[in-house]
Amino acid sequence: MPVVNGKLYFFRFHLFEQKIPSVNDDFEVKNNYVFIMKRITFLCISLLCILALKAQTASVRKIWLEFDVTQNGVSGMKVHLAFDIQNMKGRNGKVIAYFDSPKGTGVKDKNGKYCTSGGTVCTSIDICPNYDNSVYDDLDLFIPIDELHLYPGKRNYYCRAFIQDLSSRKFLANSEFVSFEGTGVDNQSDNNSHAAVKKFPDKQTFYYTNSQHSGLVKAQFYYDNQNEPVCLIFAGNSSPQYYWWGSNSSNALEFYGFQYTAETQSKASPYGPIPMITYTGRIIKSKNSNRISLSSDYNKLVINNNYVYNVRISQQEYEGLWSQMFGNSGGGSNVVVPNGGIHNGTSGGTTTPSHQDTRCKYCHGTGNCSSCNGKGYKFNSYSGHDDTCPSCNGSGRCFNCRGTGRQR
């Protein structure tokens, strides 16, 4: 013990001091953890509320149509829309009007001028609101009458408008359907009009091979449940491919490949800023890169400008070649013919029916899918919207008879 100035000093050194944990300490730690988690949860909820308050929303109050309108010397019609839109100040948006016939099925475009990426008729206009809460009492969208591509004959058409935020690519709101009656003609002079449909070989089936007799193609032509000319191609033993008649050149009919798909849209979610993907209830033809060309005399078929089938053969020859190439199973044994009958292909090339042709037991002769009644889509009670019919994959045709109404 040191002595300084005659005084004795005591020093205590604590190199390490360890506190013995107690039950109260554990309780305090748990309370601190709960407190921190509550603060984090509160901050997250507050942030979501702020984002929700600033989310872009819209509501449509009214939609109506105006006919016999002339704009810039062009005759057409206008779609009028009254709507409110929030939190879109300075943001680019678009209002789109779609045209259906029947309801839920887009009218097929013919020339790529007024159309969606899926090839259905529409017209649109860009908007950029000047206020956080903007009110549009009468926004109009014009479409030329020739761009409606009305089908031959008198039928009902339906129009519905959607409001889209181009920044997020999501749809903010849509109107109800509004209907009108239209009458198309089939004697127009434009090659892209329905005048060319007269040359469409409806309800016919053609068979082809190439010069070397090394390939086989069966082509069926018909109007689908959307009243559009379609070609169904069976190339060899591969899966069938759908093609839609698009235009006429000077010496051929041109067809474009497609799949039946359900159209989707993005909608604002009530649970946060992340949009929800929902279905519009429309079944559309989604184009792909496949193409076929059919000569005006129907004697030559070209697939994707590469595969040439320039020898048209009879059904007997087709079934005989099929048996040689692929055996008796497959396309040679179940060949759908134009009148709805199905004949058995044999190696000898004969076409003696191997069964009696009767009415389809699933569609009762209608040719329509019994699950969706030919619409191509069904209401999904779990998702709350229309989905592509799984039975017909959106085609609207009976899975058993493929739309012929007959079966063996």
pLDDT digits (tens, 9 = 90+) for 318-337: 888 888 877 654 443 333 33
Terminus-to-terminus CA distance in the chain, angstroms?
116
Q: State the average pLDDT over residues 224-238.
A: 78
Q: Work out whether strand 406-407 and strand 122-127 pair parallel, antiparallel, or are unpaired.
A: unpaired
pLDDT above 90 for 80: yes
Q: State the average pLDDT over residues 123-127.
A: 94
Q: Work out whether strand 229-235 and strand 204-209 pair parallel, antiparallel, or are unpaired.
A: unpaired
Q: Look at the domain 57-184 and name its fold.
A: Immunoglobulin-like (2.60.40)
Least confident of 11-25, 156-170, 252-266: 11-25
The continuous run of DSSP H or E covering 359 comes out as strand 358-359
pLDDT above 60 for 252: yes
Closest to 152 (Cα-Cα) out of 194, 107, 100, 97:
194
- Nearest-angstrom CA–CA distance, 155 and 261: 24
pLDDT above 90 for 128: yes
Contact 170/268 with Cβ under 8 angstroms? yes
DSSP state, 37?
Answer: H
Q: How far is CA 110 from CA 166, 193, 198, 254, in A?
A: 26, 7, 15, 12
**Residue 258, pLDDT score:** 83
Cβ neighbours around 324 below 10 Å, total: 13
- Nearest-angstrom CA–CA distance, 213 and 5: 124
For the record, the structure tokens of 136 come out as 């549009």
Confidence tier at 285 by pLDDT (50, 70, 90): confident
pTM of the model: 0.41
Q: How far is CA 398 from CA 363, 365, 369, 393, in A?
A: 6, 10, 4, 10
**Residue 355, pLDDT score:** 42
Closest to 373 (Cα-Cα) out of 382, 365, 383, 363:
363
Least confident of 65-69, 125-129, 271-275, 287-291: 271-275
**Residue 64, pLDDT score:** 92
Confidence tier at 81 by pLDDT (50, 70, 90): very high
Identify any residues that bridge with 255 across adjacent strands, giving them in sequence order.
245, 292
Cβ neighbours around 241 below 10 Å, total: 18
Confidence tier at 353 by pLDDT (50, 70, 90): very low
Where are the extended beta strands (E) located within 131-215? Answer: 133-144, 153-165, 170-174, 178-184, 204-209
Least confident of 172-186, 249-263, 320-334, 345-359: 345-359
Q: Residue 19: is it exposed, middle or buried by C-beta count within 10 angstroms (0-12/13-18/19+)?
A: exposed
Q: pLDDT: is 357 or 212 the higher one?
A: 212
Q: What pLDDT, in 10s, does the model give residues 287-318?
A: 788 888 888 888 999 988 888 999 999 998 98
**Residue 371, pLDDT score:** 75
Most confident of the ranges 103-107, 200-204, 257-261: 103-107
Q: Return the HEC string of 51-93.
A: HHHCCCEEEEEEEEEEEEEEECCEEEEEEEEEEEEECCCCCCE
Q: What value does the mean pLDDT of the chain take?
A: 75
